Amino acid sequence: MGGVIPRAELFGARALALAPRIDPAGERCRIRVRTGGLSAQDREALAGLGLELRGELAELACKPAELSELAPRSPAAEVLLAALEALRTPRGRPRIMGVLNVTPDSFSDGGEHLDPDRAVQRGLAMAAEGAELIDVGGESTRPGSDPVSEDEELRRVIPLVEALAPRVAVPISVDTTKAAVAERALDAGARMVNDVSAGRADPRMLPLVAERGCDLILMHMQGTPRDMQRDPRYADVTAEVAEFLRARVAACLEAGIALERIAIDPGIGFGKTLEHNLELLRSLGELRALSLPICVGLSRKSFIAVMEREHLPADAPIAPPTERLGGSLAALALCVRRGAEILRVHDVRASVQAARVAWAASPATPAWVPHGE
């Protein structure tokens, strides 16, 4: 379509002011934007499409062709058209990211890989089972956890990356919020940074990523791991997560990070209740309007056990993390159908199998072939 603005403008001042949310279901897409982001010119142009002003929000339903006609004379229509095009663009085949924690206290696999040789063998096994990314972490971010020192995180992470990187063909990601840890891991052979703080915890992180030209995952989290689950609240969780991620991508672009290096993560379980998590899963496809790969990490998380607990006797124990595979795979398949491109998991072989089936059953998807071919 003519008039579509560059993808980077989806994170510019105009898009940040509008905070567009688009539901592409049906012939006419439903759109909601912030009223304050609409100029008088926009309001006049969009009025013919049935624009309704409802306090701080404006809503309309229109066909893509109608937005295309308006784009030359409405900056808002131009942004909305670009976001709609992002939603309609076929997404890439999902990749499985194996979780390899070298921590004593991670919620699921804490203590399992403290032995260096065992950690390396697990990384090799993940690659053999079909993982296309391996995420190495040395600091637990489970609810209630405390941060570890930079020296301790380096001691845990760097030897593993140094030992594993030469022996696997798949990229290694470092799960850290500390720029010093990320830098040393990149020196050791890592090619991606997975930052649960989205670059907020360490002001040196985004400049480092820009300088090194590595890939980056930005995750949404309300609060910190220590306090994020005390009382998380949202007026509209999907809209607020999308707004946060849009702003963090804008910060990345300002720091000089290339757009094609960025992926986004809604942060399932990070400052969210059960209902918040479920709502994000239901509306995951809306995040594709940000035109970036979506990463989701929900493997073995507690919301799965909470859902199971509702159907068990009151005195039944809650399922431990290793017994949440069924719920993990069901959620993974849903995420694949709704556009997720990176799935962060503990059970690699089963997850690859589930992702393949979900991908094959999705509408109009190409064959499952290795990335890069």
Region of 146 please: left (phi>0), alpha (psi -120 to 50) or beta. Answer: beta
From the list 91, 272, 300, 344, the catalytic residue is 344
- Residue 23 phi/psi, 5-degree rounding, is -110, 110
From the list 246, 288, 301, 338, the catalytic residue is 301
Which value, to the nearest 10 degrees, does the dihedral of the CA atoms of residues 288, 293, 294, 300 take?
150
> Around Cβ 316, how many Cβ atoms within 10 Å?
10
Residue with tokens 């808002």: 76
Q: Are 4 and 78 in contact (CB under 8 A)?
A: yes
Nearest to 117 by CA among 56, 163, 70: 163
- Look up 178 and say whether it is catalytic: no
CB-based contacts of 37, cutoff 8 Å, min separation 6: 14, 17, 18, 19, 76
- Look up 54 and say whether it is catalytic: no
Element (H, E) at 217: strand 215-219
Q: Rounded to an integer, what distance in angstroms lies between the CA atom of residue 294 and that of residue 314? A: 37
Q: List the catalytic residues.
A: 301, 344
